[in-house]
Structure 1
């Protein structure tokens, strides 16, 4: 099972992926929720929710030596843009077809690629264990 750093890096990498890869990933994790196996009606928000879930642990990860402050800062603009696009006023951004047609997804991918360049693809150890504190 990947450690938290690897999970964070994988999540950023998914946001950096091309639309086809993002769509395939979303289908792979959501298709079981539908009778016909087409999960596109679930939209794209899972990509942002996954980042939000793991990025919340960044401070704790830093405390345990899993991530540097510079790496945390590299991800911050990506998280900020995704948060700014939340809510009903941006509902069109979260529809699956937006992955290919909405230029804001190009901006998200560019921010994710910049962050990913600052996150080395490496195993990181930690003395923290989920039930330790």
Structure 2
């Protein structure tokens, strides 16, 4: 039986600068993932696969579709992260140091959404790499 990861937020005791740093790090991580996903698509179009692989084209098409879904989700998340960075910057510029419940709940939701996305990306990578290793030419 697989242990299920439970998300826990720790934002309630963080400063605005810590939240800003974390969101900027996530924005960078999501931006880097853009290039990684583009590389996977490029790899799928290269003639590196064994020709006698069962359902090769169907499985490659599924991976292309999955990468497209991940890319769409990444773009939406990156947009949300950038919006949140702007909100934090506004609070810092206006010297607002208190957190209202709405701000904290939005941050927690976004952080949870990012966590779940990275879990999906990790699951995808594991399956993708395992498949590519099995069907690529030696």
- Into which bin does the TM-score normalised by the smaller protein fall? 0.3 to 0.5
TM-score (ref. length: structure 2): 0.45
TM-score (ref. length: structure 1): 0.46
